[in-house]
Structure 1
Amino acid sequence: MTRTTWGSAPTISAGFSYGGKLLRSASVCALLSVACFATSVPVAAQQYQFNSVQINGNERIGDAAILRQAGIRRGQPVTGGQLNDAYQNLQSSGLFETVEIEPRGGTLVITVVELPTLNRVRFEGNRRIKDEQLQQLVGSTERRVFNPAQAEADAAAIAEAYSNQGRIAARVQPRIIKRDQNRVDLIFEIFEGDNVEIERISFVGNRQYSDRRLRRVLGTKQAGLFRRLVQRDTFVEDRVEVDKQLLRDFYLSRGYVDMRTTAVNSELTQERDGYFVSYNIVEGQQFRFGEIDLVSEMPNVDADAYRQIIKVRPGAVYSPTLVENDIARLERQAIRDGVDFMRVEPRIERNDRDLTLDVTYVISRGPRVFVERIDIEGNTTTLDRVIRRQFNSVEGDPFNPREIRQAAERIRALNYFETASVNAREGSSGEQVVVDVDVEEKPTGSLNFGGSFSNNDGFGLAISFAEENFLGRGQKLTLSLSTAEDATRYGINFVEPALLGRDVAFGLNLDYAETNSSFFSYDTNRLVFQPSITFPISENGRLSLRYTAEEIEMLERDPIENGLTVAADIAAGAQWSSALGYEYTYDNRRGGLNPNAGVLFQFSQDFAGLGGDSTFIKTTAKVIGERKILNEDVTLRATLEGGALAWQEGTNRVVDRFLIGPSILRGFEPGGIGPRDISGSVNDPLGGNLYVAARFEAEFPIGLPEEYGISGGVFYDIGNLWDLDDVDLNGGNIVGEDGSFRHVIGFSVFWETPVGPLQFNVSKALKSEDFDEEQTFEVTLRTQF
C-alpha cells in the first residue's frame, strides 16, 4: 500500500506474504499520481535534504548496511524519484518483509520488518525420492534469510523431479512454522501421487517397419510386467525430442532420407493413470547409392589413388554413416601422406526417378588453421592424458573439424562423464583455434551382487567389484567371486587400454577355479595367469598376443570309481603348461556396410612348450553370420566353429582336450558326446583332440504383447567330437573314438527381464549314439542387481 501526505513529504511502504498470511502489496502509485500534476503542484521536482536518518525495526542488519543498500547519504539532497529508488533497492534486497520510507522534516525515517532466518528445511510425505536427493534440488539454505520466492521455486523444482519420474500428479506445498528469535522452519509437504506410465506406444504412417521394431529404437519404453523396476516406461516430455532423433537416425541409416516425424501425440487415460503416445511419421522411400566418384582440387593429390580407398559401392542402401566413414578414411590417408589441411566434402545429387543418390567426394584445401592448445575443465578424478589421448591431433597440428567431432564422440563413449562437450574457438590469432573440453564426471565404480542358475552348474552367488576408471587413469579393474553348487571361481582382471599412450591394450588376468560337477567323476583345481596385449591391424580387425601359464589338477572323488583312463589322468597329479598364443578377431557388426547383417570371425592358436610339463599346439576358429529379415522382426544366425589339438609331449589328459557342452551343441549334457571310457562304474567322457559344430537359429516374436518381453526361436545344431591320438588309454574300454555327427532340433523361449535374460531350450536329438548323455531341457538365468 502507498500512502502520500499532500503538501508534505510522501511516505512509501510495502509488504508481501509468506506461509499463507496476507500482507500489504508494494505500490508507489500515489507517488506517481502526484507527479502527473506537476504543472499545478510540482511534487516531482521537490527536493529533500535530511540531516539525520532514523532506522527502525532492524535487528540483524546494521544501519550502515541498510543505508548502503538504499543508496542514500546524509546531507545530500534527494528527489521523490530517488526516494522511490531507495525503496525499490531495499525491497529487492530480499532481506525485508516490509519497508516504509517517510521524510519527517530534516529526518528520514526508514522502518523495516526483517524477513525471518531459516532455521530448518525439512521434507514430509516423500518416499520415492530421498531427503538427500531433494536437498540437492532446493536453494533455500538453513541459517540464511528466508525468501518466499525461493521457497516457491524450490517447490516447483521438487514437483518437476517427480514429474520426470512419471508422477505428474505430484503436488508440493511449502509451509512455515514460526519459531522464537524471528526464525522459521520451512516444511515442504509432498503428495507424490501415482506413477503415470506409458500404457502404449504406437506409430501412424509406418509401412516398412512394424510398431514392435520401432519401439525397440526408442529410449522410452511402454510399461511391462516389471514396471516397478523399469524407469524408462514413464512419460517425460524431454525424452520426446531425443526419441524423435533416434527414429530419424534409424531410418536414415536404412536409406529413408525423407523420413520425418510430423507430430507426437500424448493422451492421458480416462483414469489419469497412464499415457497413450502416438508418433505420426512419414517414411518416404528408400534410396540407394548411385554413382560414386572422387575429384581432387589439390594439385598434389592424386584422385585415382584416393578413389581406391572408398568402400561404398553403387547399389548399396544409402547411409550417412557410410559416407562419414569414407571421409574419415580419406583424411587419415592424407595425414599418412603428409598432406595438410586437406578437406573432403561430399556433394550429393538426388535422382528421384531411380531413387538413388550420387555421391562425389571433393578434395580441396581447407583454411590454414592450427590447434593452439586443448583446454580441459571439469575433470577432478580423470587425468588430462586420458581425455587427450582421445584426440588424434595435438597442439601445433592442422585443425580438422571432423576429427574434433569424432574425438568428442570418443570421449562420450568412455562413459566416465555425465556430460562432455567439445568446442573450438578462435585462439590468439586468426590462424589458431583453442579446443575447449568441458566434462562433468560421474561414478565409475560398481559393487555388484548377483545370482545364477543353470541345470548344469546349479544355483550360485556372484559378487564383483568393477572400476571402469581406476585411479582416474582410464584403466579397468575387476575383482570377482562366483560360487555355484558345482563350481567356485575367483578372478582378478586388469586392463590398460592405452599402453604407453598408444592404441594398444594391456590385459592381465589371474583366475582360480574349483569344480565338482555332477557330470564328471572327478574334481578339478585350475589356476591361470595370462597377460596379453591387443591392438588393431585393420578397420575391423584386432590381434591379441598372449602368454598363458596354467596349472590343472584332477582330484579323485570318493566313493566314485573312475574308469582306467581317467584314473591314470588323476594319478598324474598337478600339471602345468606354459604357452604363447595369439587371437585374430574380425567384427564388422558395427562398422559394416549393412546395418541388418554382420560377421564375426575369430581364429586363435596357443603354442605350449616354453617350460611346463607338456608340449602342444591348440587351434580354434569360429565364424558367426547374422542377418535380420522381414523388416528386422526376425533374426537369422549361423555359427560354425571347430578346434584341433596337436599333442607332442607330456600327458594328454581329459582336462586338456576339447569337451563339448550345451553352449556349443544343445541337446546334450556337458561332455555328453564324444569318446567315453565305460570301464568303470560310470561312463567317463574323455573329450577329443578334434571337434566341429554348426548352429543355425532364428529368433522371432511369438504374438504375445511386447511388454511381456517374451520372444521365441527355433534351432538346428550339428556337431562331432573325436580323436584320441597321443592319449594313453591305459587299457580302458573306449567307445566313440572315431566320432559321428549328432543332429539336434529344438525351440527356445527368451524372456527379457530387467535383471537379465532368461532362456529356456527344449531340444530333441535326431541322431545320437547309445552312450551319449542327452539333455532335453535347459534353463539358464544370469542376474546382476
Structure 2
Amino acid sequence: MLYMRFRFLTKISFCALALMCASTLHAQFAPKQQPIIDAVKIQFTNFKTVSDEAIEAHIRLRPGQPYDTTLADQSIHSLYKTKLFEFITIRLDDAPSGNKIAVFEITSKYRISELTFEGASKYKSKRLQKEIKSAVGQSLDGSQLKMDANTLIDYYQKKGYSKIKVTFDVKRDPETGEATVVFHISEGPKITISKIIFEGNEDLKQEKLRDVMKTKRWNILSFFTGAGIFKDEQFYDDLDSIREYCKNQGYLDVQLNDADVTFEYPSESRMVIVIKLNLGRRYYIGNIKISNNKLFPEDKLMKALTIKTGDVFSPEVIDENAETLRDIYGQVGYLDTYAIPERIPNLKDGTIDLNFVVHESDKFFVESVVVEGNTKTKSTVIIREIALAPGDVFDLIRMKNSQLRLQNTRYFDEVNLMPEATNIPGRRKLRIAVKEAKTASINFGVGLSNIEKFTAFAEYSQTNFDIFNYRNWFQGAGQKFRVRFSIGSRSNDFLLYFEEPWLFERELTFGFELFRNESRYTSSLYNEVRMGFEVFFRKRLFELVEGRVFYHLESVRIFNLAQNVSPLIRSEKGYRSISKVGFTALRDTRDNLIYPTEGSRLEAGTELAGGPVGGQTKYVNLFVRGAQFFPTFETGEQVLSILGRTGTIMGYGGQSVPFFERYYMGGPDDLRGFGYRKVGPRDSTGESIGGKTMAYGSIEYTVRVMEPVRIAAFYDIGFLNKGELNWNPNGYRDDWGFGLRIFMLGAPLRVDLAFPITRNKKRTSGKPEFNFSFGARF
C-alpha cells in the first residue's frame, strides 16, 4: 500500500514538473508583443538635403500599428537605394502614452555643386565629363570618384598618354551640404610605341613573340587601327600570353615578372619596351606510350598521335593529343572516355616521357535533342544542321562538326553542344545551347574605285530572314535577304536578293534576285542599262562539290550613242532580251574566304541563251575558273596564290554574240597593267568590242606586315581573241607590279601599281596603271 502511494506521488510530481517546464518554455519562445507606434519622426544628424515628405514616401511603418522589423528593414533599404544618404538607423523612443516613437536618424550625403578638371589641355571638360558617371547635382560618392579617376586614366591611355596621372580633391561645406570636386590631371606627352625588344629569347624569334601580343608598335595605319598605344591592362595580359607561348615552345621553367620589363624613352613622344626573358632549360618529348586501353589496340591509337620522340615538349600540343584519343573513342559512342597524359621527367637529358592513361567508359546512344536559347531562330533551323538524331550512336566528332556548322551560320554569338545524362542506361541527351546574334544590318556609305569613281550606297541585309513571320520582324527561318541601292558618278544600281537554304526542309537551296544596273563607265560612246531577274537552285552533289542551276532573264538597253560609234555598236541600239539557263559546279577548300592561306577554289560552268528558252539572243558560254593557295613561310603569314581563268562564248542559229555579252580584259580584276577594257579586239573607231575566247593567269605573293595590312607582288598574263574556240596566245599581254591589301569595312581594299610588259606585241614597258578597288579576286 505504501509502495502504491509512493508511485502515485511520484507521478503527480513528474506531471507538475512537466507543466512547470512547459510553462517556462512557452514564456521563453512565445512571440514577444511588439510595441505600438504612436508616431514616425525623421531626424537629420547633419544637414538636410531633401524634404520630410520625400523621405516618408519610402517609410513603411505607420502610426497606430505594431512595430515590424521587416517593414523597418524594407524602409531603410528603400532609402539607401536613393543614394542620397550616408547612414540610416532607427531608434524607438518612449511616447507619453506608454507606446513608442520610431525615429529615423539620417546622415545625408553631400551633393556635388561643382565638378572641374584641372590640368586638362588636350581634351575639353565637356568631353571628359562624358567619360565619367559623377556629375553636378548627384550625391557625392567616394568609390564612384575613384572609378571615375581610373576611367579617365584608361581614356587617356587609349589616346596615347601612357604617363597620365589623375587624382581628385573634394571640398565639403557642412552648412549647405554641397561639395566641390576637382580632378587633377597630369597629361604628360602623347607617347607611341616605337619598338618592342626581347632579350634572352635565344631560339625564339622576336617577330613570333610580338605576334602573341595585342600591344603593337606604332605604324602608318595606327590612326585607323589604334595600334602603337600603351594600355596597362592589355600589356600585362600580353605578358601572360608570352609566358604561355614560351612554355608551349618547351621552356617550361620560363620566368617573366613585371620587374623584367623596362620602358625607355628615346624622345619625349616615343617609347621602347624591353622585355627580358629568363627561359631556362628547353624540354623535349622522350618515350611515348599508351596504357589501360582495351577497346582499341595501342598501335592504332599511337598512329593517331601527332607527336613523336624528340619533339619540343608543348603542354598545348600534349593536351590536343589527349583530346584526339578522346575523339577516337567518342566517335563510336564511348563519350566519357578520357586520357590523362602522365609526365615522367628525365632531368639528366631534359626529356619528358609521356604515358597516356586511358579511362574507358560505356557506349552511349542519342536519346533526344533539346534546343534552348533560341529566342528568334526556329528550332527546325538549328536541328537541320545537326548530324545526330535520336537513336544514333552518340558520335563525339559529329557533335563537334555540328557545332561548327551552327557557328558558320552566323545566326548565333555563342553555340554549345554537349551530352547530358538521362535516367536511361546507355542513353545521353544532346543539349544545344545558343545565344542569338544580331543578323540584320543597315549600311550607308560611299565608295571609290578607279573605274566607277565615286559611289554612294544604302543597304539592308538579314542573314536569318523569315519571309512569312512578320510578328517576329521577319526573322528566324535561316533565309537570306538583301536589298541595295547605289548611285554614283558613272553608275546606278538596284539589287533585291532572297535565298532559302533548305527548300521543303531538304538540303536544297532556292533563291532569286531582281536587279537593275545602269553603267556609263564601260564606254564614253554609249550608255547601258540591264534589268531583269534570276532564279536558281543549289545543292551539294558529292563531297565538297556543289552544283548550281539557274534561269536568267534580262533586258539590255543601249542608248545615248555618240555620233562616231561604229556600225557594230549602232546595230545594238535599243532593247534586247536575253533568256538563258546555266549550270556551274564549284569545289572550294579555302581556309578563309577573304584572305585564304591554303586550299583551292575550282569552278566550271556553261550557259545556254536563246533556243528552247526563248529571248532575242542566242549563244553558248563555257568557262573554267580556278585558284590555288600555298602557305610558304610562317613569318608574316606569307602566301603564294595562283589564279587562272579561261572561257569561250559562241553564237548559233546564224546570230553573233552581242558585244555587251562578250569577254573583256584590262583593269583591277585581271590585267592590272592595262586600262579598264583596254585589252582585246576593237572596232574601227578604236572602241573595245570584247572577244569570244579568253585565258588569264596570275601569280601573286603576299606578306602580312602588320594588322590589317599585307603587301603584294604579282605577275599577270592573258589574251583575248576575237574568234570563238580560239586559244592562240600570240596576242597575249602581261604585266607585273606590287600593291597593298588592307582589310577595312568588312572587305579587302586592293591598291595596286602595275607596269605593262607587252604592249602592241612589243615587249616594251609602257605607262603604269594605278588600280584600287574592294573585294577579292578569283
Equivalent-residue separation in structure 2 for 1:742 and 1:162 (angstroms): 57
Counterpart amino acid of 2:519?
T
Aligned to 1:35: none
Number of aligned pairs? 686
Partner of residue 671, structure 1: 677
- 1:514 deviation in Å? 1.3
Asked whether the equivalents of residues 208 and 631 of structure 1 are also in contact (C-alpha less than 8 Å), the reply is no
Structure 2 CA distance for aligned equivalents of residues 284 and 501 of structure 1: 59
Contact in 2 for aligned 1:676/1:686 (Cα 8 Å): yes
Distance 1:666 1:269 in 2: 46
Structure 2 residue 742 is matched with structure 1 residue 752? yes
Q: Name the SS for the 1:697 alignment partner.
A: strand
| Aligned counterparts of 2:525 and 2:319: Cα–Cα separation in 1 | 54
- Cα offset, 1:621, TM superposition: 2.5
Length-normalised TM-score, structure 2: 0.67
Q: What is the correspondence of 1:692-771 to structure 2 with a 5 Å cutoff?
A: 692-700=695-703, 712-725=711-724, 740-750=730-740, 752=742, 757=749, 759-766=751-758, 768-769=760-761
Residues 1:577 and 2:572 are matched in the alignment: no
Preserved CA contact (<8 Å) 1:456 1:669? no
Matches within 5 A, 1:339-738: 340-341=333-334, 366-368=362-364, 370=366, 372-377=368-373, 379-394=374-389, 399=394, 404=399, 407-417=402-412, 426-427=421-422, 440-470=435-465, 471-473=474-476, 474-501=478-505, 503-517=507-521, 519=523, 521-537=525-541, 541-568=544-571, 570-571=572-573, 573-589=575-591, 597-609=598-610, 610-613=612-615, 614-629=618-633, 631-632=635-636, 634-649=638-653, 650-662=655-667, 663-677=669-683, 679=684, 682-700=685-703, 712-725=711-724
Q: Is the 8 A contact 1:348 1:357 kept in 2?
A: no
Shift in Å, 1:773: 13
Once residues 637 and 452 of structure 1 are traced to their aligned partners in structure 2, the CA distance between those partners, rounded to angstroms, is 27
Computed over aligned residues only, the root mean square deviation of the Cα atoms, in angstroms, reads 6.1
- The change in CA–CA distance for 1:643 and 1:88 in structure 2 (over 3 A counts) is closer
Partner of 1:3: none
Map Cα deviations across residues 66-101 of structure 1 (whole Å, 9 max, x no partner).
Answer: 98675799xxxxxxxxxxx99999999987635374
- How much does 1:659 deviate? 1.2
1:576: how far off? 0.8
Distance 2:114 2:419 in 1: 44
- Which residue in the other structure is 1:57 paired with? 42
- Determine the structure 2 residue equivalent to 1:113: 105
Partner Cα distance (1:781, 1:283) in 2: 50
- Structure 1 residue 207: deviation in Å? 7.0
| Structure 1 residue 376: Cα displacement | 1.5
* Deviation for aligned residue 1:579: 0.8
CA contact (8 A) 1:633 1:700 kept: yes
* Partner secondary structure for residue 664 of structure 1: coil
Q: Is the 8 A contact 1:672 1:772 kept in 2?
A: no
Q: In structure 2, what residue type is equivalent to 1:600? A: R
Compare 517-526 and 688-697 and name the one that shifted more: 517-526
Q: How far apart are residue 759 of structure 1 and its match?
A: 0.8
Specify the SS of the correspondent of 1:644.
Answer: strand
Return the offset for 1:574.
0.9
1:635 and 1:768, CA in 2 relative to 1: closer, same or farther beyond 3 A?
farther
- Counterpart residue identity of residue 472, structure 1: Q
Q: Aligned-pair distance for 1:721?
A: 1.5
| Structure 1 segments unaligned to the other structure (5+ residues) | 1-47, 74-84, 727-735
- Cα displacement string for residues 733-778 of structure 1 (whole angstroms, at most 9, x for unaligned residues): xxx9965243434322316375563513131323543899976222
- Selected match of 1:99 from 72, 75, 89: 89
Equivalences for 1:210-359 in 2 at 5 Å? 211-212=206-207, 215=210, 218-231=213-226, 234-235=229-230, 239=234, 263=256, 298=295, 340-341=333-334
Aligned to 1:779: 771
- Indicate the larger mover: 61-70 or 605-614: 61-70
Contact 2:446–2:455 at 8 Å: present in 1 too? Answer: yes
Task: Give CA-to-partner distance per residue, 1:400-449, whole Å, 9 cap, x none.
Answer: 55555555555555545555555655455676656666555454333323
- DSSP-derived class of the 2:730 partner: coil
SS at structure 2 position matched to 1:671: coil
- 365-374 vs 447-456, greater mean Cα deviation: 365-374
Identity %: 14
Residues 148 and 571 (structure 1), Cα distance of their counterparts in 2 relative to 1, 3 Å cut: closer
Residue 570 of structure 2 aligns to a residue whose secondary structure is: helix
Greater helix fraction, Structure 1 or Structure 2 = 2
Residue deviations 1:304-331 (CA, integer Å, cap 9, x gap): 9x999x898999x997999799889978
Question: Any stretches of 5+ residues in structure 2 without a counterpart?
Answer: 1-31, 44-51, 117-123, 466-473
Deviations for 1:647-690, whole angstroms, at most 9, x for unmatched residues? 3334411222211122122212233222222x3xx213232222
> Normalising by the residue count of structure 1, what TM-score does the alignment of the two structures yield?
0.66
Partner Cα distance (1:715, 1:480) in 2: 33
Aligned residues of 2:34 and 2:68 also touching (Cα < 8 A): no
Q: Distance in 1 between matches of 2:371 and 2:236?
A: 31
Cα shift readout 1:94-117 (whole Å, capped 9, x = no counterpart): 876353747779877764333669
Larger mean Cα displacement after TM superposition, 165-174 or 571-580: 165-174
Tell me the SS of whatever aligns to 2:460.
strand
Post-superposition CA distance 1:186-242 (Å, at most 9, x none): 999897968876554455566778555665565554443454543565555665687
Contact 1:532 1:544 in 2 (8 A): no
Deviates further, 689-698 or 421-430: 421-430
- Aligned amino acid, residue 553 of structure 1: V
Give, as a single letter, the amino acid of the residue that structure 2 aligns with 1:661.
Answer: G
Where does residue 6 of structure 1 map in the other structure?
A: none
Q: Secondary structure at the match of 1:740?
A: helix
Aligned pair in 2 of structure 1 residues 369, 579: CA closer, same or farther (>3 Å)? closer
Cα deviations by residue, 1:483-515 (Å, 9 ceiling, x for unpaired): 333332221223344445555544433332112
State the distance in 2 between where 1:64 and 1:292 align.
Answer: 75
AA aligned opposite 2:689: L
**CA 1:115–1:176 in 2, change beyond 3 Å: closer, same or farther?**
farther
Contact 1:390 1:410 in 2 (8 A): yes
What amino acid is the match of 2:605? S
Alpha-carbon deviations, 1:523-576, whole Å to 9, x = none? 32223523334444566x2413131314252524433422233333x1584131
SS at 2:715 equivalent = strand
| 8 Å contact from structure 1 (residues 629, 636) kept in 2 | no
